[in-house]
């Protein structure tokens, strides 16, 4: 019998205009949910920041807080490439930048970007850029031919000639 009374009081409560208005507002108000790929961005950011480290799908899945199989499927659906392809692309981009801007040996660059085989690096680099790493480096001006200007010098010359700060016009501090 107590149950019937609870139902009756609940029916009475739902019949009130305030409850009806609250129910309509709750239905019409969009639920603020996290974008479905948001958890995948954590793993993508991890790859971008730590591409040198030995990263694998289970480690990236842990960063995204999902299972490895689900992570691989969702990553490919969200970004159009597998996690391994994305990691390899980041490593090759960094290697290309090092080839353009340094005179370090190809093998050293290979290991510096997190790859463990020079042969695989050369093959993957050739597929991505259409040239071997050595030919890619030769197609750009040598790093030693470019003048390196220290940042402090660049900043000093980038400063405005005339200062408009009050402190500069008033003379020495009192």
Boundaries of every domain in the chain? 38-80, 85-145
**What confidence score (pLDDT) does residue 32 get?**
45
What mean pLDDT, rounded, does the chain reach? 79
**What confidence score (pLDDT) does residue 37 get?**
77
Model pTM above 0.85: no
**What confidence score (pLDDT) does residue 73 get?**
93
The answer to whether 78 and 40 have CB atoms below 8 angstroms apart is yes
- Give dist(CA 63, CA 33) in Å, integer: 19
Report H helices in 16-146.
17-28, 38-49, 57-64, 68-79, 83-101, 106-112, 118-129, 133-138
Torsion of CA 111, 134, 100, 104, to 10 degrees: 50
**What confidence score (pLDDT) does residue 69 get?**
94
The architecture of the domain spanning 85-145 is Orthogonal Bundle (1.10)
- Give dist(CA 160, CA 158) in Å, integer: 6
Residue 29 has pLDDT above 80, yes or no: no
**What confidence score (pLDDT) does residue 34 get?**
45
For 106-119, b/e burial (b = at least 16 CB within 10 A) is beebbeebbbeebe
CATH entry, 38-80, from 1.10.20, 3.40.630, 1.20.120, 1.10.10 = 1.10.10
């Amino acid at each position: 019998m107590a149950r019937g009374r609870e139902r009756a009081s609940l029916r009475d409560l739902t019949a009130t205009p305030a409850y009806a208005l609250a129910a309509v507002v709750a239905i019409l108000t969009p639920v603020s949910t996290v974008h479905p790929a948001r958890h995948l961005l954590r793993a993508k950011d991890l790859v971008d920041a730590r591409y040198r480290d030995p990263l694998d799908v289970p480690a990236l899945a842990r960063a995204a807080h999902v299972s490895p199989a689900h992570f691989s499927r969702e990553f490919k659906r969200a970004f159009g490439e597998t996690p391994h392809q994305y990691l390899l692309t980041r490593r090759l981009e960094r290697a290309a930048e090092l080839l353009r801007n340094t005179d370090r040996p190809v093998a050293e660059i290979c290991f510096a970007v997190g790859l463990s085989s020079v042969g695989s690096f050369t093959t993957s680099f050739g597929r991505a850029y259409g040239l071997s790493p050595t030919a890619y480096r030769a197609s750009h001006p040598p790093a030693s031919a470019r003048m390196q200007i220290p940042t402090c010098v660049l900043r000093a010359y980038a400063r405005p000639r005339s200062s408009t700060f009050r402190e500069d016009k008033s003379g020495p501090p009192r």
